[in-house]
Structure 1
Amino acid sequence: MPPYPGDRTGPRRARGLGRFTGPRPPRPEACELCGTPVSGDGHRHLVETERRALVCACRPCAVLFDRPGAATGRYRTVPDRYLSDPGHRLDGGAWDRLRIPVGTAFFFHNAALGRPVALYPSPAGATESELDPDAWQSLLDATPLAALLRPDVEALLLRRDGGRTSCHLVPVDICYELVGRMRLLWQGFDGGAEARAALREFSAEVERRARPVAAATAPTGTGAP
């Protein structure tokens, strides 16, 4: 992903996201690396760091780029890790400091830029919101999930609904899948009923898959579930 423009006049469409920002294309019939046929859930995603693009891969290829030392290469495997932090300290004030104009946003560490970025779904696709360093520090202070993010492939997903903020660590590809769905369904000023229903369905699935961060990071032998 190329560097973002430096002005701070307001949110803007994220550049260089390529296939991330539009509707997800039909699943390919072959791994984009080795050509092995794949179908259904028989493949995973890689992030091609130079182009900031998602690449479909068969499981053997995905495992190859998930080994120690592979994180510095051209491809990085998107993990299948979902964590929740029910004890986070993100209140309305923290949300205001993030300057996100909608109720859903995700944050990930862009290794090429050497800093975290903040994006949110919009009718135009993935839109960047300028992330103040103090605002990012407030996230680091409010939840351990922010410090656990793997660069480029995992995101901190926040949703504020009815005065309640949910906080999850998720694979970055599902965030861009949400962006594509919202772009397709968005109607009017606030997205419309169909987009809101899709967002609720998406959030429920994230909640279902996520494990509490305390249990997921507990040392072996502590008896944590």
Structure 2
Amino acid sequence: MRNILPCELVINDEKLYLQKRNDDDKVVDKYEIVFEKDEVKKIKCNNLKDESIRDESTKEDIDEREYVNGYKYEDLGNGKGQFFDLAYNKEFKVDLDKFNKDDMAKKTYGEYSYSKIVKDKIFFFIRRDPGKIKWFSEEHSRYKELRWYDFNEEIWESVNLSKNQHVQSIIGIVDNKIYLTGTEEWGSQYPSKIYSVDLKKKKVKEEIKLKDLCI
């Protein structure tokens, strides 16, 4: 029986990579993943540099939720706030009147389960209303919407997720598309497919099943 090495998807310098590791956590095989129309290309990389971003500068005084999300928030006073991306050591200042226009920030923080800063945007996974569906029903995905705030444009945008689109977490952004891990059904622990969201066209697409990449 062939030994299948653990696979992971990482993004670095706006490129998507598939990496395989051995039992010592060393990268032993690496490919660049390129999506062209309906075709997915795996381009073998001779350089086995680990493309994962490891944050070793996390401050001890941040709470668990800040660590999981990868950012800190600070109220600067005078109607200003600041997000600090822990992985990239980058600051994003916000005008709180614009950030909470039409109570959008307040609404978002009451509805989300997972958030992350990627490049110049902060993304939120908006959970479905448990009062309107059977929360643990396999007929519905956990999240109903991907919502984000653009720090540069100072606007909120979003895209709806269907009940069959079981998105899980964010991989990263390449060419105005954000790539997400996903699963076949609600409750699955390990990612089994890749979704992309076109941030301009507001379209969600299932790109490929992870098992087809890891062979």
TM norm structure 2: 0.27
Structure with more contact order per residue of length (Cα contacts < 8 Å, sep ≥ 6): 1
User: Whose helix proportion is higher, 1 or 2?
Assistant: 1
Higher strand share: 2
Tell which structure's C-alpha radius of gyration is larger: 2
